[in-house]
Structure 1
Amino acid sequence: MRHFFRSDYEQDMSLFQSNRDRFWYGLLLILLLIAPQVLGEFYVGELGGLFIFAIAGIGLMLLVGYTGLINLGHAAFLGIGAYVNAVLLKQGVPFVVTLPVAGLFTGLCGAIIGRPTLRMSGLYLAIATLAFGSIIGTVFQKWESVTGGFDGFAVPTPYLFGIPLDTTNGIYYTSFVVLLFVLWVSANLLRAPIGRALVAIRDSEVSAQSMGINLAWYKTLAFAISATMTGLAGALFAHYVRFLAPDSFDVLLSVQFITIVFVGGLGSLRGAILGSAFVRLLPQAIAMVRDDLPFGIGRLPGLEPSLFGLVLVLVILFQPGGLNGMWLKFKGWFQEYPFKRQVSHRRQKSYAKSERLK
């Protein structure tokens, strides 16, 4: 198996482990840049939606996977970013201003929500964030002078240097650039003292506090950063759907974001992207095979959310590492071949926090 030995501090701080990683990620970047010139409009649109979900998934991953704080109202942050961006565009504010403002305003809302929930954890925090999502949904419905209520309103066309961005290729490239920026910020953040503090809080709040980590400050910061990234995704999502309505940001969308985190693999930026691909591709796969399913299963109401729940339960039971864990296993298997050992890839028993203290 290939091992990398670091010889200086700069090598340890590098974003990429080796030149081989730089080559493959660079090749992937080139392929994604030329994809709209090769693929059809439908596939380019789906990739643009995948990028938007990946941005929101990375934001939730920082909160759930790296800080250990659950959030069942993540769709509310997406909705805040979408409405702020659309309303500002309607007032004539340029897109280069509305995009960061939507992210910053959503981050402020995240900090406001995160502060009073500091003493909550586990199920209580999940219920509190779920209630927050319901409250924001009600605001979207009742504040008709701004949001249009249940009627909604069409999102104005954004322009960048006179070029409209609401086309399929425009949304694709804009979302791709924002995704690269969010990945770069997240990767550097996790290597900084802030990232190490968030991971320490996730592993043990008592130990983190004993090392001098301010739990209130870092938890609030985690909510704010997560909401900011999701606000950016919401601004792009508004142009992706082109029409905003309150029912676009319901509980099912929050469940999809939770599915992204757990199916992709907790504590992995790569897992957030893989989980986003799964969430975006599963509805398309269901649509393709719906008519061929036996016993009228394809015509049953609620088939899609039921499958999301089933997949989530199966992943938690049989593949806790998610899609990222599966990728690491396959990668290790090929690196060890033909000297692989079956015992090396056997699933190890995992313990809950309370069990580790016994």
Structure 2
Amino acid sequence: MRYLFRTQYKQDVGLFRHNGDRFWYGLLLLLVLAGPALLGEFYIGELGAVFIFAIAGVGLMLLVGYTGLISLGHAAFLGIGAYVNAVLLARGVPFLVTLPAAGLFAALCGAAIGRPTLRMSGLYLAIATLAFGSIVGTVLQKWTAVTGGFDGFAVPTPTIFGVAIEGATGIYYVALAVLVFVLWVSANLLRSPAGRAMVAIRDSEVSAQSMGIHLARYKTLVFAISAGMTGLAGALFAHYVRYLAPDSFDVLLSVQFVTICFVGGLGSLRGAILGAMFVRLLPQLIAIVRDDLPFGIGRLPGLEPSLFGLVLVLVILFQPGGLNGMWLKMKTWFQAFPFKRQASFRRQKSYAKSERLR
């Protein structure tokens, strides 16, 4: 096992714990960069979609996993980012301007919805964000002069310094660059006083307020940051699907984003990426094995939403740490092998937040 010997205080807030992390993350980045040379176009397209969902998952993880605020309206922020980017591109604005503009406009909408819902929490906040998503969906349907309504909106091909970003490889590299940027921003945010305030609000709002943390300010801030990151994902999603329609940003997509956080593991940026891989690749796995399932199960309508719901319930009941928790257990087991103790890996009873003081 590796034992960390800290010689200065900055080591506790560093981006990497030790040189081993730098080596493995650097190697992973090199493999990802070499992906288009090793894989076919179909797989590159699916990995690009995973990167896009991971960007939205990281944004929602800051809200749900680190601040404890549930949102069922993040598909609306994805749609806002997608349409803002597509409409500006159609009017001749460069892609290097439309991409941050989509994130900024979505962040402003997030701050606007976050401010009046500050007194809500739990189920009430989820219902409020769900209503916001319905309002945005109606606007996208009815504002036909801008969005095209149900007729759809063709997304122009973006260019960067005169080079057209088209095909699976172009979207793959742009999405990868944005994902790395979002992870860097999130990691630095969580190391800052604002990040520690977010975690304090998640654990106990009363205790956080008694320590001088301004609840309204930080809740509005995290809503804006989360919505802005989802808006960036929406801008890339527009180029992935190439044709926008209002029904693409429904409540099922918001449920998928929440599934990313819970299945990946709450309170973990790595969990957001693992959850995005699960949510995006599970439909492809279902499509492969659909014809081989017995008793006509593969032809049942609503199979994918049912599996998402079943997996979410099983994870909450039997693996609250999600995929990231499973990875940490496996890593600890291999590090301790063969001098492991069974008690170290025995599943402990988990208590709900309202039961801890009983």
Q: So what's the TM-score if we normalise by structure 2?
A: 0.99
- Alpha-carbon distance in 1 for matches of 2:128, 2:227: 16
The residue type equivalent to 1:150 in the other structure is: F
Could you give the per-residue CA deviations for residues 212-267 of structure 1, whole angstroms, max 9, x where no partner exists? 00001100111000000000000000000000000110111111101100000000
- Alpha-carbon distance in 2 for matches of 1:110, 1:143: 20
Q: Are 2:336 and 1:336 aligned?
A: yes
The residue type equivalent to 1:278 in the other structure is: F
1:357 Cα deviation from its structure 2 partner: 2.2
- Alpha-carbon distance in 1 for matches of 2:166, 2:67: 35
1:14 Cα deviation from its structure 2 partner: 1.7
Report matched runs for 1:204-353 at 5 Å: 204-353=204-353
Matched residue, 2:51: 51
Identity of aligned residues (%): 81
- Alpha-carbon distance in 2 for matches of 1:286, 1:353: 35
The residue type equivalent to 1:134 in the other structure is: S
* Secondary structure of 2:17's aligned partner: coil
1:140 Cα deviation from its structure 2 partner: 0.6
Figure out how many residues of one structure are paired with residues of the other and give that number.
Answer: 358
Report matched runs for 1:97-246 at 5 Å: 97-246=97-246
- Alpha-carbon distance in 2 for matches of 1:253, 1:92: 30
Matched residue, 1:67: 67
1:13 Cα deviation from its structure 2 partner: 2.6
Give the superposed CA RMSD.
0.7
Could you give the per-residue CA deviations for residues 153-192 of structure 1, whole angstroms, max 9, x where no partner exists? 1101100011111221110000000000000000000000
- Alpha-carbon distance in 1 for matches of 2:46, 2:128: 33
Could you give the per-residue CA deviations for residues 324-352 of structure 1, whole angstroms, max 9, x where no partner exists? 00000000000000001111011221222
Q: Decide whether the 8 Å contact of 1:82 with 1:231 is kept in 2.
A: yes
Gaps of 5+ in 1: none
Q: Decide whether the 8 Å contact of 1:117 with 1:125 is kept in 2.
A: yes
- Alpha-carbon distance in 1 for matches of 2:111, 2:44: 35
Could you give the per-residue CA deviations for residues 64-100 of structure 1, whole angstroms, max 9, x where no partner exists? 0000000001100000000000000011000000000
* Secondary structure of 1:180's aligned partner: helix
The residue type equivalent to 1:294 in the other structure is: P
Gaps of 5+ in 2: none
The residue type equivalent to 1:328 in the other structure is: L
- Alpha-carbon distance in 2 for matches of 1:335, 1:88: 52
* Secondary structure of 2:166's aligned partner: coil
1:10 Cα deviation from its structure 2 partner: 2.7
Q: So what's the TM-score if we normalise by structure 1?
A: 0.99
- Alpha-carbon distance in 1 for matches of 2:13, 2:317: 35
Matched residue, 1:96: 96
Q: Decide whether the 8 Å contact of 1:65 with 1:267 is kept in 2.
A: yes
* Secondary structure of 1:42's aligned partner: helix
Could you give the per-residue CA deviations for residues 298-322 of structure 1, whole angstroms, max 9, x where no partner exists? 0000000000000000000000000
Matched residue, 1:354: 354
- Alpha-carbon distance in 2 for matches of 1:324, 1:54: 14
- Alpha-carbon distance in 1 for matches of 2:2, 2:174: 37
Q: Decide whether the 8 Å contact of 1:166 with 1:240 is kept in 2.
A: no
* Secondary structure of 1:130's aligned partner: helix
- Alpha-carbon distance in 1 for matches of 2:259, 2:16: 27
1:11 Cα deviation from its structure 2 partner: 2.2
1:32 Cα deviation from its structure 2 partner: 0.4
Q: Are 2:83 and 1:83 aligned?
A: yes
- Alpha-carbon distance in 1 for matches of 2:38, 2:353: 49
- Alpha-carbon distance in 1 for matches of 2:329, 2:226: 29
- Alpha-carbon distance in 1 for matches of 2:38, 2:328: 30
Q: Decide whether the 8 Å contact of 1:67 with 1:198 is kept in 2.
A: yes
